[in-house]
Chain A
Amino acid sequence: MAVYFTQREIVVPGQLLAKGPYQLGSNVYKVGNAIYSSIIGLAELKDRAIHVIPLKCCYVPKVGDIVIGKVIDVGISHWTVDIASPYSAILQVSDAFNKVIDTTREDLTKYFDVGDFLVAKIIAFDRTRDPLLSTKEPKCGKIDRGTVVEISPAKIPRLIGKKGSMINMIKKEINCQILVGQNGRIWIYAENPEDELLLVRVIKRIELEAHTSGLTDRIREMIRREKSRRGNVVSASKKGRKAS
């Protein structure tokens, strides 16, 4: 019985993590009684289970997940949606709206056209067939404003933070709306377009530095510095006008 890593150490595939009666968490596998990592990530021992938190991964659909998709094709009675995953998703007309739509009379592009972004919930996926989406759920539907940012789905838990600490901090510092898709796409909207650009930078920085400690504080500092700099620019330009 032994553990061969320090908490939150960066491990690589094939690295021996532990020997003995530990439970298998995510991204590890067992040969005999030895536990190895199967991915590049941060190793963690929690409640006698060994996990590796991935640093990079692809999104595998899970029933119940809220995702942000992009319409790539319009069919007779369905839309094909890219959900940033190896599997493209299907949205049936019957799962899209609460009202009845007569597909023989109506043109589906009226509702969602190619290139539209939409928020949807995954209602079925079993790996043998493509995932099915629904936009009947609350908060779901077409995105008609704001920006969609894409990051690695592995960094989504860090963007949310422990009990939402990171995302709540961001919402407190910047007046905005954020909707996080489990597939790594994030919808953001702010009244002030400059805030939206700042948000994009904040999210990209979280993605890059997800595995470092003290990130929440650094991000808060970054937002405050940016805001005060912007405040100075405004006051400076006012001064300039007075002088002339």
Chain B
Amino acid sequence: MSQLVRKVERPPRLIDEEGRRADGRKVDELRRIKIEVGVLKNADGSCYLEQGRNKIMAAVYGPRELHPRHLAMPDRAILRCRYHMVPFSVLERKSPAPTRREIELSKVIREALEPAIFLEYFPRTTIDVFIEVIQADGGTRCAGITAAAVALADAGIPMRDLVAAIAVGKVEGQLVLDPMDLEDRYGEADMPVAMMPSLGKITLLQADGLMTLEEFEKALELAMRGIKEIYNKQKEALREKYLAIKREVEVT
């Protein structure tokens, strides 16, 4: 990967004549995604995800006993989420204390993951999800959801489906898949979407900026295409953890 960008300056054009974006991608192209499963020894499930310059670590603990006890639900587990950006994840140092933005994103991510989990299987317990953004370059809430879903599956928690997420942006009047920080900053719109792909259910849909109805419909279609691609990467990464062991011992 290229060096970290020191200054975020608006290039003269965000999309050139050939339809190439600032980092050389086409408008409907995702950033390079790398997913590793089971990277943390002490967590029940974990996932490390790279999406372009985004670097995210997700850890899942549970189902486990809940403290304080009065938060427990008699008929199901509760899901707790923490989305956090480490101080060195952005160009200007970010205070490690949770900001309003991080608190809101934690809630939004929790609500995007909740419908996928069979919480009623483990009454009176908690499932804790920690998402640490180690390096941020736009679209970290989506990358966080993608990573957290893989970590949940790795923890062996019963789920209806994995959750995959991606954002669609609008830059210089054109819809772009998976906008990076630069495009988010100078674009006209940003729409994060999270889905349970095999069930075809949307669990998160946010949007800010201006889009026409036709643009919105096109954007959603574009997001679904991106999500399908990410979903395949998630499944592949989960299987790979066990297939690697199998390959190693069965050939010899």
Contact = CB atoms under 8 A, between A and B. Distances in A.
A212 B160 contact: no
Given A56-B155, A86-B63, A86-B64, A36 B250 contact: no
Interface stretch (A12-20, A91-99, A188-196): A12-20
B49 to A, nearest CB: 16
B14 interface: no
A50 B62 CA distance: 26
A76 interface: no
A88 interface: yes
B32 interface: no
A12 B116 CA distance: 13
Contacts of B197: 14
A103 B19 CA distance: 81
B99 interface: no
B33 interface: no
B246 A212 contact: yes
A55 B242 contact: yes
B54 interface: no
A58 B74 CA distance: 19
A144 to B, nearest CB: 28
Dominant secondary structure at the A interface: loop
Contacts of A87: 65, 124-125
Interface string A207-219: 0110111100010
Interface in B186-243: 196-199, 234-235, 238-239, 242-243
A146 B235 CA distance: 41
What class of interface size applies to chain A in its complex with B? 20 to 34
B177 to A, nearest CB: 22
A58 B242 contact: no
Contacts of B162: 12-14
Nearest to B161: A14
A40 B154 contact: yes
B161 A212 contact: no
Interface string B145-185: 00000000111111111100000000000000000000000
Nearest to B234: A12
Contacts of A212: 245-246, 249-250
Contacts of B250: 212-214
B239 A12 contact: yes
Contacts of B160: 13-14, 29, 36, 38
A209 B160 CA distance: 27
A14 B196 contact: yes
A54 B156 contact: yes
A10 interface: yes
A244 interface: no
A23 interface: no
Interface in A28-81: 29, 31, 36, 38-40, 54-58, 60
A218 B249 CA distance: 9
Contact of B123 (A13, A58, A127, A214): A127
Contact of A128 (B123, B156, B243): B123
Nearest to B63: A86
B62 A86 contact: yes
Contacts of B238: 12, 40
Interface in A150-182: 152, 154
A189 B129 CA distance: 38
A55 B196 CA distance: 22
Given A38-B158, A86-B64, A218-B249, A13 B242 contact: no
B88 interface: no
Contacts of B118: 29, 38
A209 B245 contact: yes
Given A56-B155, A212-B250, 6 more contacts: A36-B198, A40-B154, A86-B122, A86-B124, A208-B245, A211-B246
25 contacts: A10-B243, A13-B153, A13-B158, A14-B161, A14-B162, A14-B196, A15-B198, A27-B158, A38-B118, A40-B238, A56-B44, A56-B45, A56-B154, A58-B122, A60-B122, A86-B63, A86-B122, A87-B125, A128-B123, A152-B156, A211-B242, A211-B246, A212-B245, A214-B250, A218-B249
**Nearest 3 A/B pairs, CB to CB:** A14-B161, A56-B156, A13-B159
Interface of A: 10, 12-16, 27, 29, 31, 36, 38-40, 54-58, 60, 86-88, 127-128, 152, 154, 208-209, 211-214, 218
